[in-house]
Structure 1
Amino acid sequence: MSPSWYDLLGVAPDASAEEVRGAWRTAIADLDPTDRRFAALNQAAQVLLDPQRRAAYDAELAAAAALAGPTAEADLAEPDHVAATPEPETDRAGRRGVPAWLLVGLAVAVLVVAGVGAWLDVTTPSDRSVEDATSAAQSAAERAVVPILSYDATSLDQSKAAAEQYLTGDYRSEYDKLFEGVIRQNAPSTKTVVTAQLVRSGIVRSGDDRVQVFLLVNQTRTNAADDQPTIYKNWVTMTMEKVGDDWLVAGMDT
């Protein structure tokens, strides 16, 4: 049997969402987004961090296990003295018949797989719809990350306004608390200027109205105490949410 998404991330099938998220972050920490493993690890996290998709995936694994039949260990665990087993029934052509338990097992497995497929057809948006939505969300995240992670001590009101236009109402409240409580309290006295530059982005989780985007960002900082620019390399996971016709930032994990 080929490795599962659980195997890829190195977690148990009953791992919690936090364990899956932690394993994913550790696995991609040193990978370039263009690396093939980066995309595979993101896809694994995308499935296992979505309760509905994970349930459907677990059903597929169960169906595959049913098709695999009894384990080798069970076959080897025979007693030393076994009564003679009757020969399987044969048809008129002399061929052995298929055991009834195997037919029943196959029928159940087929029904499970068919049921999962029907469930996905009903509950999952079309691939094209998700693809278009994901692309739009990624572009919006790329536009938003620079003003959100940049500010200038000499024009804080403009910096704040530039960022707020990309935020949902709920997340704007969180951003305002951070901006007023930290940046506005410290930046004027230190004359700090932070300028963000997008390096590259990738998709963590696709969706029709909610998408997570991974972004690598360089932040250049200058202030009164250090006239030489300092560059910080950061990664950000942005949760993008469809609000009307726009994709807005609903959360950030830096």
Structure 2
Amino acid sequence: MRSFVGTLIRRLRSGRRTGVEVAGDAQPEPTGDGARRSRRPRLAGTGDRLHLVLTVATVLAVGAAGAGWYGQHRAQARDTAVRQALATATPAAKAIFSYDYRNFDASVTNGQTFVTAPFADEYAETTAALRSTAVSEQAVVLAEVSASGVIQADPERVELLLYLNQYRRNVNTDGEKVDQNRVVLELRRVDAEWKVARATAI
């Protein structure tokens, strides 16, 4: 029995010394799923396509942000234009549609500070034709804005609807009369100021 056991041990030891050894760092050939994965070819140009997708996405994001900023800036500029035009419209309408025969020329000069072409020429012609009648009838007209609203607007041009009361008196009337009018004023930005470019009674 001891001879059999000793012989078996010697054979096992001999087999360990003489068996096939793996040389160097060589790795065994993968089999099964590992072999299929290792043989699967890499897709050419994957990195380039990813870079292109990221670039396009960045450009679109920047474009969307720019469009949003422009829209917000435009809306703010429009709101500012409306506020400034409304602030100008009341004193402008009062100056343009009021006059006093006792200082008619001064009334016209005051009105001219609020107008611009093409309405400036029309205003000059109308007041020149009115002067003699106003003086002969001793006419006094005072215009007051009772209400106003925005028809349309952009940063350089605002169109307003004004409800205008004209309180007038002259030698041909008893007491004071009131004329109620609706007037559309178109105001345009001229340098840093807003001027009346058109006036239309409706």
Which bin holds the TM-score, normalised by the shorter protein?
0.5 to 0.7
Cα distance change, pair 123–132 in 1 and its aligned pair in 2 (3 A): closer
SS at match of 1:253: strand
In structure 1, distance between residues paired with 2:87 and 2:73 = 20
Q: CA RMSD in A?
A: 2.1
SS at match of 2:176: strand
SS at match of 1:206: strand
Choose the corresponding residue for 2:75, options 120, 123, 127. Answer: 127
* Residue 227 (structure 1) shift: 3.3
Number of residues of Structure 1 aligned to a counterpart in Structure 2: 136
Q: Which runs of 5+ in 2 are unaligned?
A: 1-65
Q: Among the aligned pairs, what percent are the same residue? A: 26
Q: Which amino acid aligns with 2:83?
A: S
* Residue 173 (structure 1) shift: 1.2
Question: Structure 1 stretches (4+) deviating beyond 4 angstroms?
Answer: 118-125
Contact 2:118–2:198, Cα closer than 8 Å, also in 1: no
In structure 2, distance between residues paired with 1:192 and 1:155 = 11
Q: Which amino acid aligns with 2:124?
A: D
* Residue 170 (structure 1) shift: 3.0
Listed as ranges, the matches of 1:12-161 within 5 Å are 126-161=74-109
Cα distance change, pair 120–163 in 1 and its aligned pair in 2 (3 A): farther
Would you say 1:184 and 2:131 are equivalent positions?
yes
Counterpart position of 2:113: 165
Would you say 1:212 and 2:154 are equivalent positions?
no
Q: Which amino acid aligns with 1:139?
A: A
Q: Which runs of 5+ in 1 are unaligned?
A: 1-117
Contact 2:99–2:141, Cα closer than 8 Å, also in 1: yes
TM value normalised by structure 1: 0.50
More strand by share: 2
Larger radius of gyration between Structure 1 and Structure 2: 2
TM value normalised by structure 2: 0.63
